[in-house]
């Protein structure tokens, strides 16, 4: 490969870099806060969860409580046309042809249950608890979505840093190829050195292409979570801040009080307790009242001297009803006993969730601390490898080390940068998991 060809490659790469920078500036920089706002509005799971809460809210409204009376109305009209012939004992005959009759009626009725063994009272309370449970389930969907969002966001940030490191490595490899080619032209290197440098540039170029592919896929994954066009282009922030005031004991206490799974277990227990009270109401009587107004009118042609031609009736009516299912064959007793068993099971389930949560908090805490320690180690490793590469690069220019040692120092620096980037986002993801367990994510 001649010097002119090398120069051509370098110039081409320079313009590609300039175009890449221009595209970067033109693209949206999506912050984590903006991503969360988009997800709250457009994420598919979040929208469905909100709809489920709306349904639960409707179910707990006054129109589904049984405290309102029921009102019904009815109205009707009839028309008849008949021929009649009547023969009396005296032998007289009364015959009427085409006798018409019309009748009209209308009524309104009101029914209201005064007492049904407190069934209505506890049903209302149960519906309110069900609404709160639905809100907790929506919160869980929200938390899971945020965790997925941060994981996807951090993956994009990691790949962005990975891309930058790989591109720097490729640039160094190109410079090495140029230097090796110059030396070969002046008889200071062999053709084998040039070929080795070309292979390294080719391998680094393929690596950059693969990272670009992974980055594009990761952005499409995040766009799906945000509920927008998968091909929307954007950049992310690579700045990461860690919470420095976390305390394990405080997190454990918070988890028992605010973790969404614990709160759901409490609501399920409350629902079972109301189920028991509702079933017990089956042993009590039901008292109701009703009232109404009715109007009836008929108009017909008389068929004899005794038949009326017009008749109108109207008036109000009211009543009270009382019913008591003294013995239902043991059905209510069975439901009550099953409700008691369900309460016992809910209490056991709640205790199990608390124990598992305590375990998960401790595990997550240790994971988080290990990730933070790893992050510090990788920072020192990156700094060390950076200094080592700078020294190696100077010695390589002076011809004091061979290309193999130079390449190894280059790879060591690249791996250190990649390991640091991985540790950086692994620590943040571990922190988010810990906050979710403690009920502090939102």
pTM comes to 0.85
Of 363 and 11, the structure prediction assigns the larger pLDDT to: 363
* % of the chain residues with pLDDT over 70: 90
Q: Is the pLDDT of residue 18 over 60?
A: no
Length of the chain: 442
The ranges of the chain annotated as CATH 2.20.200 are 71-115+286-323
Taking residues 293-306, what's their average pLDDT? 74
The ranges of the chain annotated as CATH 1.20.1600.10 are 3-70+117-284+327-437
Is the alpha carbon torsion for 132, 133, 137, 143 positive or negative? positive
Least confident span in 43-47, 217-221, 398-402: 398-402
288 by DSSP, 3-state: which?
Answer: strand
Of 206 and 84, the structure prediction assigns the larger pLDDT to: 206
- Listed in sequence order, the residues at least 6 apart from 329 whose beta carbon sits closer than 8 Å to its beta carbon are none
Question: CA–CA distance from 43 to each of 48, 50, 51, 145, 146 (Å)?
Answer: 9, 11, 13, 8, 10
Q: Is the pLDDT of residue 334 over 90?
A: yes
pLDDT at 419: 98
pLDDT at 257: 95
Q: Has domain 3-70+117-284+327-437 been given CATH number 1.20.1600.10?
A: yes
Architecture of domain 71-115+286-323: Single Sheet (2.20)
Burial profile 153-183: b = 16 or more Cβ within 10 angstroms, e = fewer? bbbbbbbbbbbebbbebbbbbbebbbbbbee
């Amino acid at each position: 490969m001649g010097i002119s060809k090398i120069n051509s490659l370098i110039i081409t790469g320079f313009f590609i870099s300039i175009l890449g920078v221009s595209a970067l500036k033109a693209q949206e920089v999506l912050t984590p806060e903006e991503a969360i706002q988009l997800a709250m509005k457009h994420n598919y799971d979040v929208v469905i969860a909100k709809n489920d809460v709306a349904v639960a809210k409707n179910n707990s409204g006054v129109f589904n409580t049984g405290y309102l009376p029921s009102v019904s109305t009815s109205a009707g009209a009839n028309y008849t046309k008949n021929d009649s012939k009547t023969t009396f004992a005296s032998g007289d005959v009364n015959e009427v042809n085409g006798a018409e009759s019309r009748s009209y009626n209308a009524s309104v009725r009101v029914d209201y249950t005064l007492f049904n063994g407190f069934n209505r009272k506890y049903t209302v309370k149960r519906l309110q608890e069900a609404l709160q449970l639905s809100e907790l389930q929506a919160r869980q969907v929200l938390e899971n979505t945020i965790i997925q969002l941060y994981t996807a966001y951090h993956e994009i940030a990691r790949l962005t840093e990975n891309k930058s490191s790989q591109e720097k490595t490729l640039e160094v490899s190109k410079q090495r190829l140029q230097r090796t080619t110059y030396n070969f032209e002046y008889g200071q290197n062999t053709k084998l050195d040039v070929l080795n440098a070309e292979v390294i540039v080719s391998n680094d170029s393929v690596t950059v292409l693969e990272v670009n592919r992974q980055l594009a896929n990761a952005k499409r994954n995040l766009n799906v979570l945000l509920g927008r066009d998968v091909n929307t282009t954007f950049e992310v922030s690579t700045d990461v801040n860690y919470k420095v005031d976390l305390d394990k004991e405080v997190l454990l206490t918070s988890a028992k009080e605010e973790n969404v799974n614990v709160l759901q277990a409490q609501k399920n227990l409350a629902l079972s307790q109301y189920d028991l009270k509702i079933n017990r109401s089956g042993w009590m009587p039901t008292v109701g009242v009703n009232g109404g107004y009715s109007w009836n009118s008929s108009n017909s042609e008389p068929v004899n001297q005794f038949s009326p031609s017009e008749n109108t009736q109207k008036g109000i009516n009211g009543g009270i009803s009382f019913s008591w299912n003294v013995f239902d064959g043991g059905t209510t007793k069975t439901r009550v006993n099953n409700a008691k068993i369900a309460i016992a099971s809910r209490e056991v389930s709640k205790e199990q969730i608390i124990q598992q949560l305590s375990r998960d908090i401790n595990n997550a805490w240790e994971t988080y601390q290990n990730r933070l320690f790893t992050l510090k180690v990788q920072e020192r490793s990156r700094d060390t490898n950076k200094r080592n590469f700078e020294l190696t690069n100077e010695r390589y220019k002076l011809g004091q080390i061979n290309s193999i040692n130079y390449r190894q120092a280059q790879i060591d620096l690249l791996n250190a940068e990649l390991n640091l980037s991985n540790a950086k986002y692994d620590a943040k993801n571990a922190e988010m998991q810990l906050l979710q367990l403690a009920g502090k994510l939102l």
